[in-house]
Structure 1
Amino acid sequence: MSYAFRLSVVLGLCASAFAENVVFPPDSGVVDLTQAPYGAKGDGQTDCTAAIQRALDELNCQNRILWLPDGTYLVSNTLKWGGTNNANNQKRTILQGQSEAGVIVRLKDACAGFGDPARPKPVIWTGTLPAQRFRNAVRNLTIDVGKGNPGANGMHFYANNQGAVRNVTIRTGDAGNIGLDLAMGDQGPCLIKDLKVIGFETGIFTKHGTASITFANITLEGQKKVGFLNLGQCIFVENLSSRNAVTALSSPDKSGVVYLVNAGLAGTGGAADVPALQNGAFFFARNVKTTGYRHALESKPEKAEAATVEGDIEEFSSHPPQALFPNDGKSLALEIRPTPEVPWDDPQDWIAPVAFGGKPDDEGDDTQALQQALDAGKPTVYLPNGSWKLSGDLRIRGAVRRFVGCEARFKGEGRILIEDGEAPVLAFERIEMNYTRIGVEVNTARTVVFANTTLALGLKARGATLFFDDVCGYPFEFVKCRVWARQLNPEGSEGPRVLNDGGTV
């Protein structure tokens, strides 16, 4: 494994570690599911199905964070977004743990309904068609399907436009069908980042090609049939680590599209008889290290030459590039940087516009209170859940290093101006600005990370270093910027959606 790849993985793991004590102030609007009226008990013995499901029923489609403190939460049935088959309720719901290792949602051993692999059943289910599962997310927790549940899927996750699985482990005690099932039609765009799947017949399953799914920092281990199976979806995979006796990633369908960059694939046992990677359509790979497999890649596309690749893969494309100008047939090999992580501050170091008279969910103008909070000298400024009205310019500057919405919404019109400040990296995250007249402008050379956010009027930036993780909006105008995007959905209907003027994107 190359030094560059090892460094990339280490940086990704270090970034994840910052988020391992995710706690919020009492007035943030985050719902603690262990408190009344829900009363889930993380003692590993009490059945919490009804308690958690009640919250999912009552708080669906509200951009609410349903929070679980560290503990083991035993369940005996599928936890369903919205509770019913009404698809309008299966969106804008975020299940959030305090930490990936500390919060365990565990299925009872030999649980009724989870015993038949021919009729698989998930522990967590976030929705069905049509493609309107906006802003769904599962974050910072572990899903354990227990023992004696061969028909269990860890999670059936469905999100559109903007939604994510982040810092999640899915594991089985002995048997299980699929770890992460993403095979619903019209899936995506969405982001799957910092995911570990341990065990199961299949680790990750994707299907259909309506939109796309972005994966980053994925670990697969101990699958019995295949690590990652793709049947027709367009997937972008960065930093894939697999230790398996089976093929790590298989995309045999004639319509699948795979981009794989930076991977370490270690074959064990029977892996000596199978390839690490399989392709039946379009496949691009760069910087892939393999050991213990018969071949690194077997490619048999319908409309291109078959190929077998031995050893490590520096770069491979199943099809020749289409270009306007003469080229050497290779990619630009642009640098890929991990998204920098801003430390999660103690809630005592947070401040909200409430301290200056702001109030969500009313018709009052919150612009002045918001600006006072931003200028109060605290590293984290937060918006308690609800709607906040803006009617002018809002300047993010000074000591602020995180502006976090707690899944709150902006309404009104104006501009959010990101300016020079004390922190070298600013995080702007977990905010919805759909259906507003609010634009965002970056007027600083420092690094800005936008994450899990929708931007109504897109973004303009000049001379900045920008990262996007799970962001939707348009248009985006970058002037002499450096940009790294993991799941940037520039959804719009008029003019250019992304304009790059003299920068690197």
Structure 2
Amino acid sequence: MAAVLKRRMPGGRTRALLTGLGGLLLPGGFLSAAIPDAARADPRFTLGYLVVTHYAGVRSDGTGDATAGLQQAVDDAYANDLVAFVPLGTYRISDTLRLFQWRPLNADGTQAANPYKQKSFQVAGEHGPAGTRPLLRLVPTAATAAGFADPAKPRPLLLLRHFESDTYPNPSRTVPADVMAAPAGWSIDTASLFNSCLRNLDFDCGGQAGAIGVVWPGAQGAYVERVRVDARGAHAGFYGLPGRNAGAIDLEVAGGEYGIRHGYGAAQAAGREVCAGVTIVGARLTGQTRRAIDYVDFVPLVLIGFAIEKDFAAPGAT
């Protein structure tokens, strides 16, 4: 027997979903078989939430390495129009979690339909007592440590990207050694990265000199809300935030060379993190050694309600 379930989508829209034997039916077929049975059986699943702790290796007690399981959970949530839901706890990761959209070319050289029309990344943490949130803590392995060691080539814990193909046949969808760069044959396009939302999570950069907490340079409908980054000993808390009438609410960064980097001045390639203006409502930036905010864009930053306290006494402070 099937039943109709209504789920709220980004932008306040609702979508009617048909549930039945074997899972949830969406346009185009059944949900991915990769979704664990325990996740399907979780009562939050019918509300549109994919609980990440049902994936192998995703432990909330701060042990093990949750990177692979979290990556799979986020990918499955994106593919199936679900919210990747992170319960309270501490999760160790050893490398960047990559939230990538790809827009290939058709054989005639025209662009394929933009995936934002149907897809967006939704990542949310549980709201706990007294405002506690889940924590993702970077603990690099011997294989990944070098990638987080150089502030001249910073590497994030969480990276949101929209890539557009430059040529046909479409190039391979690879991850470059510099994860902040575009793969060969693809270009970064922040103007087409709509509706992806990150909310209610904390990040710990683990004192790695080249680490960044979050890279989230989205466009209309995208936002970052209630996110704290412990960037002590690291490069930056945020490196690119949603613009184009989008923005962020209630951000906090402790430490780092920078609290928030954005735009031409922050980019390692021209325009990489440019988002045509960012609005931030509520920011607490403390203990940065260089700049609390490093912002160069062709549309001004709007900052409403903030507390900034720079660490002039730190070694290397400028």
CA distance in 2, matches of 1:243, 1:50: 36
CA distance in 2, matches of 1:76, 1:187: 29
Q: 1:210 to 1:126 in 2, by over 3 A?
A: closer
Amino acid at match of 1:213: V
Q: Report deviation, 1:102.
A: 3.1
Partner of 1:244: 310
CA distance in 1, matches of 2:77, 2:291: 37
Partner of 1:125: 159
1:161 paired to 2:195: no
CA distance in 2, matches of 1:78, 1:25: 27
Amino acid at match of 2:237: G
Match of 1:30 among 28, 49, 69: 49
Partner of 1:216: 281
SS at match of 1:175: coil
List alignment gaps of at least 5 residues for structure 1: 1-23, 247-268, 275-505
CA distance in 1, matches of 2:93, 2:45: 27
How do 1:230-241 residues align onto structure 2 when only pairs under 5 Å count?
230-232=295-297, 233-241=299-307
CA distance in 1, matches of 2:80, 2:193: 12
Match of 1:137 among 190, 193, 197: 197
Per mean C-alpha deviation after superposition, the further-off stretch among 227-236 and 149-158 is 227-236
Choose between structure 1 and 2: higher strand proportion: 1
Partner of 2:23: none
1:108 paired to 2:139: yes
Residues 356-387 of structure 1: CA distance to partner in whole angstroms, max 9, x if unpaired? xxxxxxxxxxxxxxxxxxxxxxxxxxxxxxxx
Q: 1:150 to 1:45 in 2, by over 3 A?
A: same
| Contact kept in structure 1, 2:78 and 2:122, CA below 8 Å | no
Amino acid at match of 2:151: P
TM-score, scaled to structure 1: 0.41
1:67 paired to 2:98: no
Partner of 1:58: 76
Q: Report deviation, 1:133.
A: 1.3
Q: Report deviation, 1:132.
A: 1.6
CA distance in 1, matches of 2:66, 2:197: 20
Larger RCO (CA under 8 A, 6+ residues apart): 2
Amino acid at match of 1:182: G
Partner of 2:7: none
CA distance in 2, matches of 1:181, 1:62: 28
Q: 1:115 to 1:238 in 2, by over 3 A?
A: same
CA distance in 1, matches of 2:66, 2:245: 31
| Contact kept in structure 1, 2:286 and 2:292, CA below 8 Å | yes
Residues 140-179 of structure 1: CA distance to partner in whole angstroms, max 9, x if unpaired? 11011113x101011111211111110110113x411121
CA distance in 2, matches of 1:152, 1:160: 24
Amino acid at match of 2:254: I
Q: 1:27 to 1:145 in 2, by over 3 A?
A: same
1:45 paired to 2:63: yes
Amino acid at match of 1:41: R
Partner of 1:493: none
Q: 1:62 to 1:122 in 2, by over 3 A?
A: same
Amino acid at match of 1:143: F
Q: Report deviation, 1:207.
A: 1.2
Amino acid at match of 1:53: Q
Amino acid at match of 2:225: R
Residues 381-421 of structure 1: CA distance to partner in whole angstroms, max 9, x if unpaired? xxxxxxxxxxxxxxxxxxxxxxxxxxxxxxxxxxxxxxxxx
Partner of 2:247: 191
CA distance in 2, matches of 1:25, 1:56: 16
Residues 277-308 of structure 1: CA distance to partner in whole angstroms, max 9, x if unpaired? xxxxxxxxxxxxxxxxxxxxxxxxxxxxxxxx
Partner of 1:303: none
CA distance in 2, matches of 1:45, 1:85: 33
Partner of 1:97: 125
| Contact kept in structure 2, 1:136 and 1:158, CA below 8 Å | no
Matched length: 221
How do 1:323-362 residues align onto structure 2 when only pairs under 5 Å count?
none
| Contact kept in structure 2, 1:62 and 1:93, CA below 8 Å | no
Percent of residue pairs bearing the same amino acid type: 25
Q: 1:29 to 1:73 in 2, by over 3 A?
A: same
SS at match of 1:127: strand
1:179 paired to 2:222: no
CA distance in 1, matches of 2:250, 2:197: 13
Residues 26-48 of structure 1: CA distance to partner in whole angstroms, max 9, x if unpaired? 5202110112x555211111100
Q: 1:117 to 1:143 in 2, by over 3 A?
A: same
| Contact kept in structure 1, 2:218 and 2:275, CA below 8 Å | no
SS at match of 2:148: coil
Amino acid at match of 1:169: R
CA distance in 2, matches of 1:122, 1:180: 9
Partner of 2:37: none
| Contact kept in structure 1, 2:220 and 2:243, CA below 8 Å | no
Q: Report deviation, 1:235.
A: 1.2
| Contact kept in structure 2, 1:180 and 1:204, CA below 8 Å | yes
Q: 1:176 to 1:89 in 2, by over 3 A?
A: farther
| Contact kept in structure 2, 1:64 and 1:92, CA below 8 Å | no
Q: Report deviation, 1:199.
A: 0.7
Q: Which has the larger radius of gyration?
A: 1
Q: Report deviation, 1:124.
A: 0.2
1:227 paired to 2:227: no
| Contact kept in structure 2, 1:159 and 1:189, CA below 8 Å | no
SS at match of 1:55: helix
| Contact kept in structure 1, 2:95 and 2:140, CA below 8 Å | no
Q: 1:146 to 1:214 in 2, by over 3 A?
A: same
Partner of 1:305: none
Amino acid at match of 1:205: R
